[in-house]
Structure 1
């Protein structure tokens, strides 16, 4: 048991401070929303590296995602959902805590989210929920003295599971056809076949067993993260690379590579769409769809050769924007509602708590947008989501052209600066493929100054000093992996 220094009752929860980190203690009688509308179940489906552009409902005519398209037509759909730090571990830790990476400390892959962090599962568990996690975890990490990636294949100890009780997870794997996991008792099991499908079956089993009890379930799939050509054959056969259209910002010299990888990427997407359909059908069979908040999203996107670049960490939309569907018939109805307001992944936890009628701890830095989702308020139009890359690493390390940056994504504009100067400015309404950088261009000075002011306010709110990468690595006692620390001047 962790020592509690201060208790402050908030509704059915007690928020407690543990050495400066707030925790939530469980009240024996957590409040329900009402007799007619009991506390909703919560299901989060998180794909890995699925960009916002690669879905049918988003206007993509090549990719086949019929189940998610149908879900979108009955849900709230965000077109500007932003990954605060568009790479695996930082994004996942922010989603679990509702905090910026420089607050929770996971701003570099494979670094552990501290036990003291107050997380989604702990809050819901202490509000009386059953909690479950299935799939990719990637916030346990390895000790600085250990070999790089050493934690990826070993069990996550019970006290490192951040409040999730039902446990069928593994730190990281991208071998989706030869995948294993550890259960609640640290026993190792194999996922038969393409792991997305048995993982989804496990999620369905969890739903069936808890249909009479409020539950929080987190289902974290590994695809469509590369390797791209490993989806089941019947899904790969659906896509002929030569027939796929590319985004206008993919260089002509990379056309052949891009189409080949895109075919495999789309095959993964369609396989995941099938699994999402199975899960939604199970919710209906169990009779709990109406009172379940179902979220579909991703940790970050994939450049997929746009601007000649690969995968994530970059500040362009293909990397930063993610899909986000929130389906909750009991409160949000079953008509599609499109919201262009920027929504960060640090906003998901407070918004879920708001929809669930659970008080939001002060440790949460995101914004509760419940009133926007329910239509009680409209976006002001000046919202902006902060984008941070405190430390570039691995594929985007300094020697590969990586740089520290901070930026904002509004409903219309992208503005980014590095340590030295303003770097990128796009009018995404006029230039949706971000082909014309307006930094220093005639007529853009006033806009740049306005967005710079917004960025500085967001940095102040986040208590982000925007320092060089080495400073943050030193403060947190982290060591660079491999050649990540080699800065190119």
Structure 2
């Protein structure tokens, strides 16, 4: 066992990985207490699949209510349409190409799963948190208690800096992507209720990471909900997915009611988004092309909501938003240290004033599910993309694909330019007729993320 891997394993087992040094320090007695922060995180849900986003069938009354009291960004995005990189962005505030966790797992092509080499690579990926820090640690420096439930890939909840939580994580047996934490929501929210009781009794501000395995497959909704969506026109796979969206909404309502019942609504900031998109395949339980794992709207677009009564101006916002903004915005609300070099914006001043956000474009990237080279993100790079105004440009690369490539192959390998206002489902590639726009946006992508290796752009004449 190599020393670096060995040290990581023992630290995880002991739950003693350092959370960094305090800068601002905990809240002193007599100071105004900063807000509680509740992150509600959907898992595998399309940006369209809410009542408040206009879906004709799916019922989401609790998130509809949250939307009514929130600043809502219908044009919200995650920079990477896959759960682990997306969640790592929410922990660190960085792009996947920076935080280094570009896929869900090291490629089994280069190391046999559960071999010593494979586990060394798993440990090295998780160790990126020590290099960059994580929001629970930064909030902890301000005296916050924090609770993790649901999805978490980066070791145990202690390793990620949470004071309380459910996930055992690697290197524990079965420790992957949430393990025990995946019971939350599907089997109630009692661990969260116990935590909130404790935090309120101790008069401590708290941070909740509520990332249930919902509406993620397996789609096993209660029959009482499923029967609402069963009909002759709706395939059963679609009806189950619709019901899962409502079940997830129901659990969000339970968390919201818990906060209300404890008298904490006025001093709680809610943040909502999904980790990546999902389009249900009507013929199976799987997802359809151009959704999860892709940079198309079905993979990376999500409504993003911020709510804080008396602080944040509610209403629908027209600007582009990205999950990269969430870490600096939450840290600002808490009065906590914000690390240097975060690419996202602190939106709190704009959310409080209602003023427009001064930003012209957002960027993103897409990598293979399996990480070919954990030292070189570009080995698995498939797309870089930008959205500016109505335009969205995708540039395609020949990074190594993965075990899922045959299921959802890349059918277009040249630049893809879409008018998202006229064509939100991205049916018409306008690149050939707008070469000047392609060249301009491609140059902006290069300025944002200049490639360092020999990864080749796949182009058309």
TM-score above 0.5, yes or no: yes
Q: Which residues of 2 match residues 388-467 of structure 1 at below 5 A?
A: 388-393=365-370, 404-419=382-397, 422-441=414-433, 444-460=434-450, 465=452
CA offsets 1:140-174 (integer angstroms, 9 cap, x no match): 3xxxxxxxxxxxxxxx384xx211121112559xx
**Distance in 2, Cα, partners of 1:107 & 1:180:** 21
Q: How does 1:224-303 map to 2 (within 5 A)?
A: 224-228=215-219, 230-240=220-230, 242-244=232-234, 259-303=235-279
Which residue does 1:384 correspond to in 2?
361
CA contact under 8 A between 1:104 and 1:113: conserved in structure 2?
Answer: no
Counterparts of 2:25 and 2:89, CA distance in 1:
29
Give the match for residue 312 of structure 2.
332
Equivalence map 1:91-102=2 (5 Å): 91-102=86-97
Q: Distance in 2 between matches of 1:438 and 1:270?
A: 36
Question: 1:105, 1:113 within 8 Å by CA — same for their partners in 2?
Answer: no
Deviations 1:406-433 (A, max 9, x none): 0013452211011377421110111122
On the 8 A contact 2:238/2:281 being kept in 1, the answer is: no
Q: Which residue of 1 aligns with 2:134?
A: 119
- Measured in 2, the distance between the counterparts of 1:466 and 1:415 equals 22
| Per-residue CA distance 1:50-108 (angstroms, 9 max, x = gap) | 12110010111110101111110111111121111110111111110001112111002
Shift of 1:240: 2.3
RMSD of the TM alignment (CA)? 3.0
Q: Paired residue for 2:147?
A: 132
Are the structure 2 counterparts of residues 61 and 125 from structure 1 closer, same or farther at C-alpha, using a change threshold of 3 Å? same
Structure-2 residue corresponding to 1:373: 351
**Contact 2:43 / 2:215 at 8 angstroms: preserved in 1?**
yes
Evaluate the alpha carbon distance shift between residue 371 and residue 422 of structure 1 in structure 2; reply closer, same or farther with a 3 A threshold: farther
Q: Paired residue for 1:223?
A: 214
- Name the CA shift for 1:236/1:39 in 2 (closer, same or farther; >3 Å): same
Tell me what 2:85 maps to: 90
The offset of 1:390, in angstroms, is 3.6
Kindly indicate whether residue 189 of structure 2 is the aligned counterpart of residue 200 of structure 1. Answer: yes
How has the CA–CA distance of structure 1 residues 391 and 465 changed in structure 2, closer, same or farther, with 3 Å as cutoff?
Answer: farther
Aligned equivalents of 1:468 and 1:237: distance in 2?
50
Normalising by the residue count of structure 2, what TM-score does the alignment of the two structures yield? 0.76
Mapped partners of 1:446, 1:197: distance in 2:
50
Q: Which runs of 5+ in 2 are unaligned?
A: 1-17, 106-121, 171-177, 372-379, 399-412, 457-461
**Closer, same or farther in 2 for the Cα pair 1:125/1:170, shift >3 Å?**
same
Does the 8 Å contact 1:135/1:170 carry over to 2? Answer: no
C-alpha distance in structure 2 between counterparts of 1:168 and 1:62, whole Å:
34
* Distance change (3 Å), C-alpha of 1:314 and 1:168: same
Change in Cα spacing, 1:450 to 1:31, as seen in structure 2 (3 Å) is: farther
Report if aligned partners of 2:42, 2:275 keep a CA contact under 8 Å in 1: yes
Q: Partners in 2 of 1:221 and 1:137 — Cα distance?
A: 10
**Judging changes above 3 Å, is the alpha-carbon distance between structure 1 residues 405 and 31 closer, same or farther for their aligned structure 2 residues?**
same
Alignment partner of 1:321 is 2:301: yes
Aligned residue number for residue 163 of structure 2:
165
What is the CA-CA distance between 1:241 and the residue it aligns to?
A: 5.1
C-alpha contact 1:341 1:411 (8 A) present in aligned 2: no
Which residue of structure 2 aligns with residue 360 of structure 1? 338
Give distance in 2, aligned partners of 1:130 and 1:291.
15
CA contact (8 A) 1:90 1:106 kept: yes
Q: 1:26 aligns with which of 12, 15, 22?
A: 22
CA contact (8 A) 2:19 2:161 kept: no
SS of residue matched to 1:57: coil
Instruction: Select the residue among 103, 109, 126 that pairs with 2:104.
Output: 109
Following superposition, the deviation at residue 283 of structure 1 comes to 0.9
Change (3 A) 1:215 1:297: same
Higher fraction of strand? 1
Question: Which residue of 1 is the match for residue 292 of structure 2?
Answer: 312
SS of the counterpart of 2:311? helix
